Structure formats: C-alpha cells, structure tokens
C-alpha cells in the first residue's frame, strides 16, 4: 500500500478530532505542553506528529517535527509514560537512522560469494518469490524444523511468530538469552512473574544496583526515577567492577570482583535472616521455604564473602542492616542484562529473595505499567499446526525451566554448527545482528556457512545481512506503522511521520506478502497496515484517526494492582517460593546456593562488556550523529596495572582469549579494577556496507567464549579471560 500522509492531513485530522485551533506553525513540545495544561491549546495542534522511538527497546513516545516531508527534529512526547517529554541522546539522533546514507532502500539479492558483500537490487516480487521458494524447498526436503527463525524484541514480532509457527518450525531464537534470561527465569521461579523490579516509589530511600548502569544503559523513565530518587536523598549502593557514570552518582561504589555478586547477596541474606531483620509477618503470610533457605544460608557469613568479593565484612553487614532498616522503601534491583556468569541464575534468585524478605512488594516491585495485549483485538487466524520436532536450542530437553519464548540462542547457534540433533538448512533473521551479538563470532559465521539459505530483514546492511542471500529492507521507524502498544490504560501508536524512502516497506506488509506466498495467508488477515490497526482497535471503540492525532488512546480505567490489594503469585504454591520445588524436581538446587565462578589465571584479565549512552547494541554505530558524539572505543585497563605491564595510555595492544585475538588502543584509567579490562560492545564491524562504522574499534564478540548458565540458559559474558600485550 502507499501511505499518503502529509503534515497538512495530520493537522486536518488533529484539528477535526480535537475541534480545536489548528496552528500553521510549529511550537516546541514543552511550550505546547504548557499551553495544553493551561487549556489554551490541544496537544494535537503543536505541529509535531506523535509516534514512538525505536532506537532501543524502551520505545519512548516521540513528537516528530516534519518540514517539507523531512524530519527535522525529534522530541520526547510529554504524554508518554516512558519518555515523559524526554528522549535520550540515541532517541534524539534517531532521524539519522532514517537518513543514514547507507540505508538499504531496495531488496537485495546476493551475487558474489557469501561474505563478499556483492548484491544486486531486485524488485519486491522477485525477492519475496525467491525467499518463499527457498523456504518451501527446505521444508519439502528436510522438514519445517530445518528453517530457523530469529528476531530481537520488536513490535511486529507477533506477525514474525505467526510466520514461523504457521510454517511449522519450533526453532525460534531471540536476544533474550544474551540479555536477561537469568533475571526473568529467577523472577518466574520466585514470584511466578517475569516483571523486573522498577524504581518508582516516591518514598524509595535505599537502592541496591548490581551492575545496572542506569546512567549509561538508559531506559529514560527508569533513569529519571533513579535521578529523582538521588535528588530526594535516597541512598544508592552500586556494585560494578568499573567506575561507570552510575558509580559516579551513587552514594557508595563497591568495585566487586566479577561473578562474586552471588557471595555478596548470600551474605546480605545471611545477616538479614540471622539477625531477624526481615519482615516477619510478610514472610510468614506470603512465602514458602524459609526454613530451607535459613539452613542453606548459614555458611554464607559476611566474613566468608569478604575475601571472595573484595568487600569488607563490616561493609556487607552494614549494608544488610541499612537495607532492612529502609524497608519497605528499599529496592534490590535485579538488573537487566544479567548474563554475566554461569552462576548468574543463583545471583538473581538471591536478589529476588532479598526483596521478598523485606516485604517491599507493592512498594518497590510492581507489575503495573507493563505492556499487556489482552485489551486489543487482532485479525482472526486458524490455530498453528502441531509441531513435534525437538528445538535445536535445548529447550526444554536440556534447559527444563527456560520458557519456550525465551530460548537459548547461543545453544541454537552451536547446534546448527554441530548438526545436532538434526541439521538446519535455512535461517530467517529479522531486526537482529547475531554475527555481533552472540559470543564467539567465528562460530556464528561457521553456522551461517551451514546454511543453504539466509534471509535478513534490516534497514542497513548490518554484519549479518552482509552474509545473507537476500536482504529485505524495512521502512525505518519514522516511515512505518507497527502494531499498537498498550501500556496500562493507554494504547500508543507508531505511525509514519514521513513517506518511506526508496522501496522500503513495513514489516506488517513484508510478513503478509511472504505469508501469502507460503500458502499461509490465513495467518495474515489484514488488507494493509491501517486495517491491521483498526482490527486491533475494534473492541476498544476508539478510532484510528483519534489515536493517530493524539499518539495514543486513553481507555476506560482498568483496575491496577494497588499497594493495598492482596498480592497473589502464579507459582505452583501460590506463594513467593524461597524454596522452589519446580527447580528441585529437575535436579537444580531449590534455594540459592554458592557456586564459585571460574576465575582468571595469573596474567589474565576478566573481559567486561557494558553499554555506552551514545550507542545501542550493534546497530547504531553507523548513525552519523551518534558517531560524532561517541568516544573512540578503547580497551580500559587500570592505570597502575598498565604501568606495571609497561603499557601506556594510547598504546596499541593485542587482546587474546581462548578463541580470538583483536588489536585496539589502550585507555589507562583508575575507573576499573586491576583484574579486569573493558571493551565497548558494538565495534569492529564486519560489514563494509556500514561506511561510517566500518574500521572502528574491535569486536568483543570475537573474543567471547560461549559459556551458558545451566539453569537460566543465559550466556556468561563476563566469564571470558584475556591476556593483553603491546601490539
Ligand atoms: N545507551 C544504551 N542504553 C541501553 C542499551 C544500549 O545498547 N545502549 N541497551 C538496553 C538493553 S537491551 C539492556 S539489556 C540494558 C542493559 O543495561 P545493564 O543491565 O546496565 O547492562 P550493561 O550496560 O550491559 O552492563 C552493566 C554493567 O555490568 C558490569 N559488570 C560486568 N560484569 C559484572 C559482574 O560480574 N558484576 C557486576 N556487579 N557488574 C558487572 C559492567 O562493567 C557494566 O558497567 O540497557 C538498555 N539500555
Ligand atoms: N559483547 C556483547 N554482546 C552482547 C551484549 C553486550 O553488551 N556485549 N549485549 C547483549 C544484549 S543486552 C542484547 S539485548 C543483545 C542484542 O543483540 P541483537 O538484537 O542481535 O543486536 P542489535 O544491535 O540490537 O540488533 C538490532 C538490528 O536491528 C536493526 N534495526 C534497527 N532498526 C530497525 C528497524 O526499524 N527495522 C529492522 N528490520 N531492523 C532494524 C539494526 O540495524 C541491527 O542490525 O546483544 C547481547 N550481546
Ligand atoms: S531510551 Fe532512548 S533510544 Fe530508547 S526508546 Fe527511549 S529515547 Fe529511544
Ligand atoms: Mo538487552
């Protein structure tokens, strides 16, 4: 379909819907917001088109200023709970993601050898026919399970899932095992829910952050909440082997030895239990397994944890007491990317349990404000075919407590290489860059080599597309519709603020076209994007025009879990499970227990990774604005350590792990422990189609050895040890 949506139309719609004054000029959002609050102006008359950011998965609401069909400025939408009027640096630079000179604007078909980067432009007809034909050939020869599908969380994912499950493949890879499996599986086992802890309570006075670098690994609203809490005088204790921006703002920075967070938290639990500092009525009413936990915790004293963590016993005891005293206005944040060590599941369980013991439920842990889709309608569709093939990623046969929709991506990759328990032959990759994001890049390229056919859907020629046979160009997030996003009692829209450039198309369009060619049209029963959204809105009695004009629809009040309502948990026992029978039944410890993580040998360093504020993962380094404001990626090393090795700031060094070697310049700094080095992720690109980013820095994925937490399936990203010498 073509989208005929101009600013003039927008103003017409906005004015008609609001019945308010339509202004012919642009007003900055903050001024518009003030005018709106004072009743002078409706927000829809601000001259900015509301939509949603996609520079990271937080998806803040935005207002796009468009002049003569070009986006000239992006601002935060004050009406959106994630942005609250703000966009982070990546969000503000988002227009250069749309105007990247390296955008892929036509379907591409490979003409050279894999990895040579030679493609020719093709029509959509030809490209889609080719993809469908290859998928059908693979299905016919080897069964549907020989097609692997993978995608990182995005709004059109329900349609992607329709494609793969209707096609009949069980093999679905997501980014989750590279990111938050330990936290999610821990919360599921403990509370029966996935929701991570969020900072939100106005009285919150004590916050324990375990490697959650909120001032650089930004989620605007949560980062704001932390800022506000600090302004109010809340105490923030931050554990990280690096002195990050969050460390700089914390009340106390504890440069813990990597992987020893488990020892630290077990010792906190030991003090809180043995000194009876926990919330006794809450624990007796709401939890099961306290006795078993108490027995297990006995050896884990602060004196025991001190040499392991590098944190004095008195400090651990004091923090335990302070934390309990601040309860219920105390929060132990689970963290987000919790894929650090093979013991990370137990670390996460200890954190989940720490929150439970002080009874901060409903005060600092909430399920409110989460994305729910139950209120929205959807096009009708038949049930998926029954799929009996085993999953290649070991779920559930090797990872019995990992949910199917979360999976173990690195294991999927490894079993593609091994051809075990069967050989995969095709890979459909959407909005993801596994060539960079999974550990051991060489092995991911080996997995690509096993494929008869690879198709990617992206907006640029990312490193994975570089190795694919067909590239399907998606319209950028400023050029397309996506399915709606319900948050609490509101529903938000992503809508095109400009026409798509070139031949780029929305995922909604691409998946429907492919579905039809695969004989799966019944799973894509919508005429076009707007029709899909109208079907979603149908049960709500809200028109698409209203949502487009305001950026969201306010639904009638839905009851929220309030602080006073009786909590309930969807665990097998219906209680918070300090001891989990589910875990015990499949042979894992039912209570968190000490498992010592591997440590580097003499002369080796822990290789740390972690986000920087100016970039998202492996997909934004080519953005010209972000490139301009990013620091040169270097290998951080403790300055004293560097001096003792005869290395100076700015030296070129060779970094070697068990599986790879890279060269990079050194940053000698006091901001990191002596036994660690740190490399910014997202550099050292393979794709020469990224003309801005190619040639900059080095890839930590080329060094990372694949270790997997046996319980949560999370990849252990801090467990790679390296040596460093002058290059
Ligand atoms: N700017 C920006 N913001 C982002 C993202 C982005 O790419 N860029 N990505 C988003 C996503 S998908 C995620 S998952 C979140 C991730 O956000 P975070 O959970 O904060 O994760 P990271 O930044 O990957 O790593 C955080 C810190 O963990 C430290 N660390 C490493 N090993 C250990 C250890 O053993 N113990 C302790 N205590 N600390 C350790 C690292 O030094 C690093 O500073 O950020 C989100 N926000
Ligand atoms: N070494 C190391 N590895 C890590 C991490 C780390 O910190 N260090 N972090 C881990 C974490 S937390 C995560 S979440 C994963 C992320 O791993 P991935 O999801 O594989 O990485 P991204 O860079 O987020 O990939 C996003 C891709 O989407 C493309 N893209 C952007 N916008 C659009 C769009 O509108 N449409 C389409 N179709 N494509 C688009 C980008 O060009 C990019 O290629 O990586 C994990 N791996
Ligand atoms: S946190 Fe930043 S990049 Fe992520 S959605 Fe919000 S503004 Fe966009
Ligand atoms: Mo992530």
CA of 461 to the centre of ligand 2 (A): 13
Higher pLDDT, 582 or 16: 582
Do 326 and 415 fall into the same domain?
no
Give the Cα separation of 516 and 10 in Å (integer): 32
For 332, the 3-state DSSP assignment is strand
Please report whether residue 223 resides in a domain: yes
Do 486 and 548 fall into the same domain?
yes
In this predicted structure, the answer to whether residue 713 has a pLDDT above a threshold of 50 is yes
CA of 33 to the centre of ligand 4 (A): 32
The reported pLDDT for the residue numbered 16 is 33
Give residue-wise pLDDT tens across range 377-416: 999 999 999 999 999 999 999 999 999 999 999 999 999 9
Question: Closest residue (by CA) to atom 41 of ligand 2?
Answer: 619
The reported pLDDT for the residue numbered 563 is 45
Give the Cα separation of 381 and 688 in Å (integer): 41
| Ion ligand 4 residue ranges (Cβ < 5 Å) | 179, 337
Q: Which residues of 122-158 are buried (b: 16+ CB within 10 A; e: fewer)?
A: bebeebbebbbebbbebbeebebbbbbbbbbebbbbe
**Which range marks the domain in which residue 621 is found?**
605-726
The reported pLDDT for the residue numbered 47 is 67
Higher pLDDT, 24 or 309: 309
CA of 387 to the centre of ligand 2 (A): 28
For 561, the 3-state DSSP assignment is coil
In this predicted structure, the answer to whether residue 571 has a pLDDT above a threshold of 80 is yes
Do 325 and 428 fall into the same domain?
no
**Sheet bearing 470-473, strands edge to edge:** 119-121, 108-110, 470-473, 453-458, 426-430, 147-151, 172-173
Q: Specify the length of the chain in residues.
A: 727
Cβ-in-10-Å burial (0-12, 13-18, 19+) of 720 comes to buried
Do 319 and 185 fall into the same domain?
yes
Question: Closest residue (by CA) to atom 17 of ligand 1?
Answer: 217
Please report whether residue 188 resides in a domain: yes
Give the Cα separation of 207 and 238 in Å (integer): 8
Do 345 and 457 fall into the same domain?
no
Question: Closest residue (by CA) to atom 4 of ligand 3?
Answer: 56
494 CB within 6 A, ligand 3: no
The reported pLDDT for the residue numbered 402 is 98
Average pLDDT, integer, range 549-559:
77
Please report whether residue 577 resides in a domain: no
Please report whether residue 149 resides in a domain: yes
Higher pLDDT, 44 or 635: 635
Are the beta carbons of 618 and 682 closer than 8 angstroms?
A: yes
In this predicted structure, the answer to whether residue 368 has a pLDDT above a threshold of 50 is no
What stretches of 325-463 adopt beta strand conformation (E)? 330-333, 426-430, 453-458
What CATH number is associated with residue 134? Answer: 3.40.50.740
Question: Closest residue (by CA) to atom 33 of ligand 1?
Answer: 258
Please report whether residue 443 resides in a domain: no
673 CB within 6 A, ligand 1: no
Please report whether residue 584 resides in a domain: no
- Largest distance between two CA atoms of the chain: 73
Do 165 and 195 fall into the same domain?
no
Please report whether residue 383 resides in a domain: no
CA of 580 to the centre of ligand 3 (A): 36
What is the percentage of the chain residues whose pLDDT exceeds 90?
Answer: 85
91 CB within 6 A, ligand 3: yes
Are the beta carbons of 104 and 458 closer than 8 angstroms?
A: yes
> Which residues, listed in sequence order, are joined to residue 661 by a DSSP beta bridge?
656
Instruction: Give the number of the ligand closest to the Cα of residue 174.
Output: 2
Give residue-wise pLDDT tens across range 460-492: 999 999 999 999 999 999 999 999 999 888 999
Structural domains in the chain (count): 4
Q: Which residues contact 179 (CB under 8 A, 6 or more apart)?
A: 336, 337, 339
Give the Cα separation of 496 and 499 in Å (integer): 7
The reported pLDDT for the residue numbered 12 is 34
| Residue that terminates a domain, selected from 65, 98, 131 | 98
- State the closest ligand 1 atom to the C-alpha of 175, by its place in the atom list counted from 1: 12
Do 137 and 268 fall into the same domain?
no
92 CB within 6 A, ligand 3: no
What CATH number is associated with residue 284? Answer: 3.40.228.10
Full DSSP string of 514-531: HHHHTT-GGG---SSHHH
**CB atoms inside a 10 Å sphere around CB 609:** 20
Do 413 and 529 fall into the same domain?
yes
- State the closest ligand 2 atom to the C-alpha of 337, by its place in the atom list counted from 1: 12
Interhelix angle for 507-517 vs 157-167, to 10°? 10
What band does 37 get if pLDDT is binned at 50, 70 and 90? low
222 CB within 6 A, ligand 1: no
CA of 557 to the centre of ligand 4 (A): 32
Instruction: Give the number of the ligand closest to the Cα of residue 333.
Output: 1
Q: Which residues of 174-200 are buried (b: 16+ CB within 10 A; e: fewer)?
A: bbbbbbbbbbbbbbbbbbbebbbbbbb
Instruction: Give the number of the ligand closest to the Cα of residue 675.
Output: 1
Do 49 and 150 fall into the same domain?
no
CA of 41 to the centre of ligand 2 (A): 40
| Residue that terminates a domain, selected from 68, 98, 128 | 98
Give residue-wise pLDDT tens across range 612-627: 999 999 999 999 999 9
Question: Closest residue (by CA) to atom 44 of ligand 1?
Answer: 610
Among 618, 701, 703, the mutation site with the greatest number of ligand 2 atoms within 8 A of its Cβ is 618
The reported pLDDT for the residue numbered 33 is 61
Residues lining ligand 2, Cβ inside 6 A: 54, 152, 175, 178-179, 337, 430-434, 437, 457-460, 462, 474, 476-477, 609, 617-619, 681, 700-701, 704, 717
Do 252 and 185 fall into the same domain?
yes
CA of 212 to the centre of ligand 1 (A): 6
The reported pLDDT for the residue numbered 637 is 98
Do 486 and 610 fall into the same domain?
no
- Kindly give the pairing relationship between strand 576-577 and strand 287-288: parallel
SS (H, E, C) 278-330: CCHHHHHHHEECHHHHHHHHCCCCHHHHHHHHCCCHHHHHHHHHHHHHHCCCE
Do 189 and 306 fall into the same domain?
yes
* Nearest in space to 491 (alpha carbons), one of 499, 504, 503, 482: 482
What CATH number is associated with residue 27? Answer: 2.20.25.90
Higher pLDDT, 121 or 43: 121
What band does 167 get if pLDDT is binned at 50, 70 and 90? very high
**CB atoms inside a 10 Å sphere around CB 101:** 10
714 CB within 6 A, ligand 1: no
Query: pTM, whole model, 2 decimals?
Result: 0.93
What band does 117 get if pLDDT is binned at 50, 70 and 90? very high
In this predicted structure, the answer to whether residue 336 has a pLDDT above a threshold of 90 is yes
In this predicted structure, the answer to whether residue 11 has a pLDDT above a threshold of 50 is no
What band does 372 get if pLDDT is binned at 50, 70 and 90? low
The reported pLDDT for the residue numbered 411 is 98
What CATH number is associated with residue 690? Answer: 2.40.40.20
| Residue that terminates a domain, selected from 522, 538, 554 | 554
In this predicted structure, the answer to whether residue 2 has a pLDDT above a threshold of 50 is no
Average pLDDT, integer, range 4-33:
40
Give residue-wise pLDDT tens across range 415-461: 999 999 999 999 999 999 999 999 999 999 999 999 999 999 999 99
347 CB within 6 A, ligand 1: no
- Kindly give the pairing relationship between strand 490-492 and strand 485-487: antiparallel
Are the beta carbons of 29 and 50 closer than 8 angstroms?
A: no
Please report whether residue 394 resides in a domain: no
In this predicted structure, the answer to whether residue 21 has a pLDDT above a threshold of 70 is no
**CB atoms inside a 10 Å sphere around CB 389:** 15
**Sheet bearing 206-210, strands edge to edge:** 252-254, 235-239, 206-210, 330-333
The reported pLDDT for the residue numbered 31 is 60
Are the beta carbons of 702 and 664 closer than 8 angstroms?
A: no
- As a whole number of Å, the end-to-end CA separation of the chain is 55
């Amino acid at each position: 379909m073509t989208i005929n949506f101009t600013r003039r139309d927008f103003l017409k719609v906005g004015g008609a819907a609001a019945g308010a004054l339509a202004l012919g000029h642009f007003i900055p959002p903050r001024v518009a917001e003030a005018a709106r609050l004072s009743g002078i102006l409706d927000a829809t008359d601000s001259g900015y088109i509301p939509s949603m950011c996609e520079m990271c998965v937080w998806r803040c609401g935005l207002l796009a200023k468009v002049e003569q069909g070009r986006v000239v400025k992006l601002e935060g939408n004050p009406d959106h709970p994630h942005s609250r009027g703000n966009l982070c640096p990546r969000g503000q630079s988002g227009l250069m993601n749309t105007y990247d000179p390296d955008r892929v604007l036509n379907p591409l078909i490979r003409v050279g050898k894999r990895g040579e980067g030679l493609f020719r432009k093709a029509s959509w007809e030809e490209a889609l026919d080719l993809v469908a034909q290859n998928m059908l050939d693979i299905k016919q020869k080897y069964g549907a399970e020989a097609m692997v599908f993978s995608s990182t969380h995005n709004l059109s994912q329900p349609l992607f899932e329709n494609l793969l499950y209707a096609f009949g493949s069980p093999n679905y890879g997501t980014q989750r095992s590279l990111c938050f499996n330990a936290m999610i599986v821990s919360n599921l086992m403990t509370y029966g829910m996935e929701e991570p802890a969020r900072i939100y309570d106005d009285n919150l006075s004590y916050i324990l952050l375990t490697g959650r670098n909120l001032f650089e690994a930004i989620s605007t609203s949560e980062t704001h909440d932390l800022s506000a809490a600090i302004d109010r005088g809340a105490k923030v204790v931050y554990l990280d082997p690096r002195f990050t921006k969050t460390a700089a703002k914390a009340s106390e920075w504890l440069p813990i030895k990597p992987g020893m967070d488990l020892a630290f938290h077990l010792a906190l639990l030991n003090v809180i239990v043995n000194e009876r500092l926990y919330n006794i009525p809450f624990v007796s009413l709401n939890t099961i397994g306290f006795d078993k936990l108490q027995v297990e915790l006995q050896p884990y004293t602060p004196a025991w944890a001190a040499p392991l963590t590098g944190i004095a016993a008195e400090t651990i005891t004091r923090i335990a007491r302070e934390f309990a005293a601040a309860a219920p206005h105390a929060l132990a944040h689970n963290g987000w990317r919790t894929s650090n060590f093979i013991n990370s599941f137990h670390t996460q369980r200890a954190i989940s349990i720490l929150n439970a013991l002080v009874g901060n439920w409903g005060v600092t842990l909430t399920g409110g404000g989460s994305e729910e889709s139950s209120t929205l309608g959807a096009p009708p569709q038949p049930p998926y075919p029954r799929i009996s093939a085993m999953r290649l990623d070991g779920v559930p046969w090797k990872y019995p407590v990992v949910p199917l929709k979360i999976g173990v991506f690195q294991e999927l990759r490894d079993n593609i290489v091994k051809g075990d328990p069967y050989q995969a032959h095709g890979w459909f990759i959407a909005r993801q860059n596994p060539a960079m994001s999974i550990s051991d890049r060489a092995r991911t390229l080996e997995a690509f080599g096993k494929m008869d056919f690879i198709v990617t859907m992206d907006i640029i020629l990312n490193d994975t597309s570089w190795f694919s046979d067909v590239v399907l160009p998606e319209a950028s997030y400023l050029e397309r519709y996506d399915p709606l996003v319900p948050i609490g009692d509101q529903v938000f829209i992503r809508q095109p603020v400009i026409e798509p450039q070139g031949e780029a198309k929305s995922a909604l369009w691409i998946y429907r076209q492919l579905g039809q060619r695969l004989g799966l049209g019944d799973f894509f029963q919508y005429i076009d994007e707007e029709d899909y959204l109208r079907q979603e809105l149908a049960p709500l009695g809200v028109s698409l025009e209203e949502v487009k004009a305001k950026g969201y629809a306010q639904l009638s009040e839905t009851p929220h879990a309030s602080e006073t309502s009786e909590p309930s948990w969807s665990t097998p026992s219906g209680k918070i499970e300090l001891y989990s029978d589910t875990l015990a039944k499949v042979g894992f410890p039912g209570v968190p227990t000490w498992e010592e993580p591997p440590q580097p040998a003499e002369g080796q360093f822990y290789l740390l990774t972690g986000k920087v504020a100016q970039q998202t993962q492996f997909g934004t380094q080519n953005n010209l604005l972000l490139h301009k404001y990013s620091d040169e990626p270097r290998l951080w090393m403790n300055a004293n350590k560097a001096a003792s090795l005869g290395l100076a700031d700015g030296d070129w060094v060779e970094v070697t792990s068990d599986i790879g070697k890279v060269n990079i310049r050194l940053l000698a700094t006091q901001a990191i422990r002596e036994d660690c080095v740190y490399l910014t992720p997202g550099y050292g690109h393979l794709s020469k189609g990224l003309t801005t980013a190619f040639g900059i820095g080095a890839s930590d994925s080329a060094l990372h050895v694949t270790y997997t937490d046996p319980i949560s399936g999370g990849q252990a990203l801090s467990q790679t040890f390296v040596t460093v010498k002058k290059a």
